[in-house]
């Protein structure tokens, strides 16, 4: 008999993609997607059950289908489709998780639980070490917003793991998820025509590609492969680091630095207009940045992300179209300037050393290709 | 020797080598060898001008050869600068997980520090051979001077003088990472927060790590106590080095104490501004920004014999007595070298 997988939060892009992906796995018999609103995207052959995980009805779903694997993706930072407020999101995150875990605890069939969390549980503060491991205690706990929800969710999940030691529990702390169809606050931020930044700070950022997210969720939802262990808490991030300034340049979007107090006003102004979610937590990320160590992910979970941070970002940038200052245009402008300078240098040289002009001078075209080669 | 003095504002040893090659290669103007020299300067991997045949016999005028070489150097410098600019504005460069931007440090930040290093403080470096050529090592130095210029000079000393061109990764106080602009530059120059996790991660990656365990006690001590080493924190640096199996290189810096003679400390102002101390020197804050100009003292940086830490057992790092002993050993070696250098010093300024 195959597995029955229940996925929460399928009305979102990520949940929908995961449902479509996991039902193709041979060991999976049946996939049940759960959300409070019907999804706009197809879920393949999966069953969709419209139930709010904040209601006890979720326990009936677990029992009715004999679910043995629960993948909890309904831990998110923003309301779906821009509707609803922060309170609704917080309730779904925290109360929803409590209900779901309560239902799992009662269910005799559940054997495996995977929970989506975030690296923002570490907070970001200047007094933190540069790289967080899973065991690093945060210097300053997130004071509110999604990060605080995630901290509370993880707390409840730990409690559940203690009470049901027979259930394999995997908490995946994802770095900022980016990709062609990412709908995270950070993706919204990078879609602004000009990026407001904090003056005097250049945060280090780490991204994980959507495809890698699906892949690692599959690992967490299945039996662990030989030599690996998929219960515990893992940081999930692509290799490497990008600075915010680097991201802006690669996107071709100009940055507008604001002093730290002014950034908060700009943030709330943008939020009122509804252009971007610019929460205090996001401002902290964009001030101090956050980098996590992924040794556990590689060695214990046995997962190698296919995309590095830079590749995930490039894929995202590609899907968003050119900004005001496309890097290609800037690069060709520099090449043109190099050509002009080369020509000028040639001119000066031939003027100055007419008597020694035995060798043919290099043409400007050559010089510009030479500079291209070097790059 | 004289040649090296002629081009002091070159970017890094590699680019210096590049321009040197352009200087000696007589055929560069004809065959575009000057540009190749530029490629060697910016790429660093290409061998500088491999072909050695010279169609032009160098007989006629050495004087007319010189300006040509100069122009070739300029050419490659401009080409190198443009490709650097191109990479920078398109964001096509790498930083490591601590935010260290090697390219920016080599090309820009170090050239900003270098005039201070070479001309202003005329830093003399001794015992650079005591800094290991490869593998992790912890350089432990004294801290002084009200503003942490000694850290920057130490970094420049390792960067410019070490034959293997090693990069020093300094551990900085958390205040550095709170201040805007400063934190950005510090991270890009390869500094990170002085905590055991970061230090250990860097040492295990085989980096050269610099630490000044006196911290604010050392840098903010009054002028009267100059060259008296303060307490070395809790000796955490020793156990970190021991866990990573990295040798400890004691380092003594003479000259930094006199750059801003701190004759007073306004505790009230320090508390108001949230700083560990607020220095009052003969010129600061009386002359305003002019008071920030450091005195042009003559500096000496001496690296001492490395103290190995890999002969200890796993539990040794947990042994407080051993830690205190090793800390004292390092401290005494630095203090001793400081006194020796002070005796040798002719004058503060020359």
Residue in this structure with the two tokens 């419209």, named with its chain if needed: A50
Pair B113, B201 in one domain: yes
Which of A58-67, A270-279, B40-49 has the highest mean predicted lDDT (pLDDT)?
A: A58-67
Q: Among A274, A211, A249, A258, which residue's Cα sits nearest to residue A330?
A: A249
Give the pLDDT of residue A335: 85
Domain that residue B54 falls in = 2-90
Confidence of residue A81 (pLDDT cuts 50, 70, 90): low
The confidence score (pLDDT) of residue A354 equals 67
Cβ-based contacts of A245 with chain B (< 8 Å) = 91
CA B174, CA B195: separation in Å to the nearest integer? Answer: 9
pLDDT tens for A158-204 read 999 999 999 999 999 999 999 888 778 888 889 888 898 999 999 99
**B32–A366 C-beta distance less than 8 A:** yes
In a domain, B62, yes or no: yes
- pLDDT for res A311: 94
B166 shares a domain with B303: yes
Between residues A222 and A278, the one the model is more confident about:
A222
CB B302 within 8 A of CB B337: yes
The pLDDT mean for chain A works out to 86
Residues B75 and B128 in one domain: no
Residue B275 lies in a domain: no
Residue A362: pLDDT over 60: no
Q: Please tell me whether residues B166 and B39 are part of one structural domain.
A: no
**E strand residue ranges, chain A:** 3-8, 28-35, 47-50, 69-72, 112-118, 168-174, 176-178, 195-198, 204-205, 207-209, 232-236, 242-243, 255-258
Query: Nearest C-alpha of chain B: how many angstroms from A286?
Result: 12
Q: Please indicate whether, in this complex, the C-beta atoms of A204 and B187 are within 8 angstroms of each other.
A: yes
**Continuous segment of H or E residues that includes residue B300:** strand B300-303
- The SS3 assignment for B281 reads coil
- Give the residue-averaged pLDDT of A133-140: 84
Q: Is A135 helix (H, G, I), strand (E, B) or coil?
A: coil
Q: B107 with B86, same domain?
A: no
A165 Cβ contact list (under 8 Å, min separation 6) = none
Do residue B230 and residue B110 come from a single domain?
Answer: yes
Q: CB-based contact (8 Å) between A343 and chain B?
A: no
Structure tokens at A102: 């309560």
Cross-strand pairs, B280: B264
B198 to chain A: which residues are within 8 Å by CB? 129-131
> How far B300 CA lies from chain A's nearest CA (Å)?
32
**Same domain (yes/no): B149, B195:** yes
A289, pLDDT greater than 80: yes
**3-class DSSP assignment, residue A322:** coil
**CA–CA distance, B344 with B340 (Å, rounded to integer):** 6
Contacts of A360 in chain B (CB under 8 A): 30
B71 lies in the same domain as B172: no
Does some domain include residue B312? yes
User: Do both B221 and B183 map to the same domain?
Assistant: yes
Q: Which pLDDT score is estimated for B70? A: 57
Is B320 contained in some domain?
yes
Using a CB-CB cut-off of 8 Å, the residues of chain A touching B43 are 374
Q: State the CATH number of the domain containing residue B179.
A: 3.40.1130.10
Query: Between residues 139 and 198 of chain B, which touch chain A (CB distance below 8 Å)?
Result: 174, 177-184, 187-188, 192-193, 195, 197-198
Q: Is B288 part of a structural domain of the chain? A: no
For residue B250, give the H/E element and its range: strand B248-254
Do B136 and B22 lie in one domain? The reply is: no
End-of-domain residue from the set B36, B64, B90: B90
What integer is the mean pLDDT of A231-238?
94
B43 touches chain A (CB under 8 A): yes
- The span from the CA of A318 to the CA of A307, in Å, is 14
- Give the domain-ending residue among B65, B90, B115: B90
| B87 interface with A at CB cutoff 8 Å | yes
CB B193 to CB A248 under 8 A?
no
Interface probe, candidates B18, B82, B175, chain A, greatest A C-beta count within 10 A: B82
ipTM of the shown complex: 0.83
Tell me the shortest Cα–Cα distance from B199 to chain A, in angstroms.
9
Nearest neighbour of B43 by CB, restricted to A200, A247, A374? A374
Q: Is the Cβ pair A247, B188 closer than 8 Å?
A: no
Q: Which of B190, B199, B213 is nearest to B244 (CA)?
A: B199
The answer to whether residue A239 neighbours chain B at the CB level (below 8 Å) is no
Q: B203 and B312: one domain? A: yes
The per-residue pLDDT string of chain B (350 residues; one tens digit each, 9 = 90 and over) reads: 434 343 334 344 444 443 433 444 343 343 433 344 333 344 434 444 444 444 444 434 444 444 545 556 777 888 888 889 888 988 889 999 999 999 999 999 999 999 999 999 999 999 999 999 999 999 999 999 999 999 999 999 999 999 998 999 999 998 999 999 999 999 999 999 999 999 999 999 999 999 999 999 999 999 999 999 998 888 889 999 999 999 999 999 999 999 999 998 999 999 998 899 999 998 888 888 888 899 999 999 999 999 999 888 888 888 889 999 999 999 999 999 999 999 999 999 98
Contacts of A242 in chain B (CB under 8 A): 95
- The rounded distance, in Å, linking the Cα atoms of B193 and B5 is 36
Contacts of A317 by beta carbon, 8 Å cutoff, 6+ apart:
A190, A250, A251
Window A:6-35, CB contacts with B under 8 Å: none
The residue ranking higher by pLDDT, A343 or B18, is A343
Contact check, Cβ <8 Å, A200/B183: yes
Interface test with A, best of B197, B198, B200 (most A CBs within 10 A): B197
Of A217-226, A351-360, B59-68, the one with minimum mean pLDDT is B59-68
> Considering only CA atoms, which of A329, A130, A111 is closest in space to residue A224?
A111
Q: Is B134 within a domain?
A: yes
Q: Give residue B37's pLDDT.
A: 39
Q: Residue B76 falls within a domain, yes or no?
A: yes
- Report the pLDDT value the prediction gives residue A84, as an integer from 0 to 100: 61
Q: Confidence class of residue A267 from pLDDT cuts 50, 70 and 90? A: confident
CB of B79 within 8 Å of a chain A CB? The answer is yes
Residue showing tokens 């009662």:
A106
B189 falls within a domain: yes
Shortest alpha-carbon distance between residue A361 and chain B (Å): 6
For the segment A63-76, the average pLDDT, to the nearest whole number, is: 92
Q: What is the pLDDT of residues A89-135, one digit of tens each?
A: 888 899 999 999 999 999 999 999 999 999 999 988 888 899 999 99
- Ranking A41-50, A263-272, A359-368, B189-198 by mean pLDDT, the lowest is A359-368
Let me know: does A361 contact A346? Beta carbons within 8 Å.
yes
Judged by a CB distance cut-off of 8 A, whether residue B58 touches chain A is no
| Same domain membership, residue B60 and residue B182 | no
CA distance B179 to chain A (A): 8
Residue from B185, B209, B183, B184 nearest B196 by CA: B209
**What domain count does chain B have?**
2
Tokens of B90: 């398109």
Of B90, B122, B147, the last residue of a domain is: B90
Strand, coil or helix: B137: strand
Q: Nearest CA of chain B to the CA of A248: how many Å? A: 8
Residues 36-75 of A with CB under 8 A from B: none
State the Cα torsion B129-B134-B140-B143 to the nearest 10°.
Answer: 80
Nearest chain B CA: its distance from A127 CA (Å): 6
Whether B46 contacts chain A with CB within 8 A: no
């Amino acid at each position: 008999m195959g597995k029955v997988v229940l996925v929460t939060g399928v009305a979102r892009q990520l949940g929908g993609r995961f449902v479509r992906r996991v039902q193709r796995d041979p060991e999976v018999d049946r996939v049940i997607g759960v959300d409070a609103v019907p999804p706009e995207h197809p879920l393949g052959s999966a069953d969709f059950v419209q139930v709010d995980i904040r209601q006890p009805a979720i326990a009936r779903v677990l029992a009715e289908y004999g679910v043995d694997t629960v993948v909890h993706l309904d831990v998110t930072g923003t309301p779906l489709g821009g509707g609803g407020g922060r309170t609704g999101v917080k309730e779904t995150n925290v109360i929803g998780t409590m209900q779901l875990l309560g239902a799992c605890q009662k269910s005799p069939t559940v054997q495996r639980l995977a929970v989506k969390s975030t690296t923002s549980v570490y907070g970001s503060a200047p007094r933190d070490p540069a790289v967080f491991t899973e065991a690093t205690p945060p210097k300053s706990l997130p004071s509110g917003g999604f990060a605080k929800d995630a901290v509370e969710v993880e707390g409840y999940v730990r409690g559940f793991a203690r009470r049901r030691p027979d259930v394999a529990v995997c908490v995946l702390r994802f770095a900022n998820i980016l990709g062609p169809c990412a709908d995270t606050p950070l993706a919204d931020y990078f879609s602004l025509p000009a990026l407001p930044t904090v003056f005097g700070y250049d945060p280090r950022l780490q991204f994980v590609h959507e495809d890698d997210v699906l892949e690692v969720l599959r690992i967490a939802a299945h039996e662990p492969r030989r030599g690996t262990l998929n219960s515990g808490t893992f940081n999930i991030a692509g290799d490497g680091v990008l600075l915010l300034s680097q991201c802006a340049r690669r996107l071709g979007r100009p940055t507008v630095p604001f002093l730290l107090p002014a950034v908060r006003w700009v943030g709330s102004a943008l939020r009122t207009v509804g252009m971007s979610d610019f929460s205090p937590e996001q401002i902290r990320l964009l001030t101090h940045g956050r980098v996590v160590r992924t040794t556990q992910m590689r060695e214990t979970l046995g997962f190698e992300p296919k995309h590095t941070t830079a590749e995930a970002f490039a894929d995202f940038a590609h899907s968003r179209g050119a900004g005001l200052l496309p890097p290609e245009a800037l690069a060709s402008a520099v090449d043109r300037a190099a050509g002009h300078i080369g020509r000028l240098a040639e001119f000066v040289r031939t003027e100055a050393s007419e008597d020694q002009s035995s060798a043919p001078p290099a043409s400007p075209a050559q010089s510009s290709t030479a500079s291209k080669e070097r790059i | 020797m004289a040649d090296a003095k002629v081009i002091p504002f070159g970017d890094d040893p590699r680019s210096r080598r590049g321009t040197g090659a352009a200087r000696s290669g007589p055929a560069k103007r004809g065959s575009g060898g000057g540009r190749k020299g530029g490629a060697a300067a910016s790429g660093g991997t290409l061998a500088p001008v491999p072909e050695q045949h010279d169609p032009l016999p160098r007989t006629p005028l050495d004087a007319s050869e010189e300006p040509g070489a100069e122009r070739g150097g300029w050419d490659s410098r401009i080409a190198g600068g443009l490709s650097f600019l191109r990479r920078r504005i398109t964001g096509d460069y790498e930083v490591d997980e601590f935010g260290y931007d090697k390219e920016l440090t080599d090309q820009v930040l170090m050239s900003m520090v270098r005039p201070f290093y070479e001309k202003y403080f005329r830093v003399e470096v001794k015992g650079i051979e005591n800094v290991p050529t490869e593998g992790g090592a912890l350089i432990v130095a004294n801290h002084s001077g009200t503003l942490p210029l000694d850290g920057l000079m130490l970094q420049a000393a390792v960067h410019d003088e070490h034959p293997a061109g090693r990069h020093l990764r300094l551990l900085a106080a958390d205040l550095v990472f709170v201040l805007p602009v400063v934190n950005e530059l510090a991270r890009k120059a390869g500094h990170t927060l002085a905590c055991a996790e970061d230090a250990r991660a860097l040492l295990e990656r085989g980096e050269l790590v610099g630490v000044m365990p006196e911290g604010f006690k050392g840098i903010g001590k009054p002028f009267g106590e100059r060259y008296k080493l303060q307490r070395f924190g809790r000796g955490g640096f020793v156990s970190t080095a021991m866990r990573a199996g990295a040798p400890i290189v004691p380092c003594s810096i003479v000259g930094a104490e006199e750059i801003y003679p701190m004759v007073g400390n306004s505790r009230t102002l320090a508390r108001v501004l949230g700083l560990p101390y607020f220095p009052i020197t003969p010129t600061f804050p009386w002359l305003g920004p002019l008071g920030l100009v450091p005195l042009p003292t003559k500096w000496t940086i001496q690296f001492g014999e490395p103290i190995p830490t890999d002969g200890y057992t796993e539990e040794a790092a947990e042994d407080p007595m051993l830690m205190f002993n090793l800390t004292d050993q390092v401290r005494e070696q630095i203090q001793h070298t400081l006194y020796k250098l002070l005796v040798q010093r002719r004058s503060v300024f020359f």
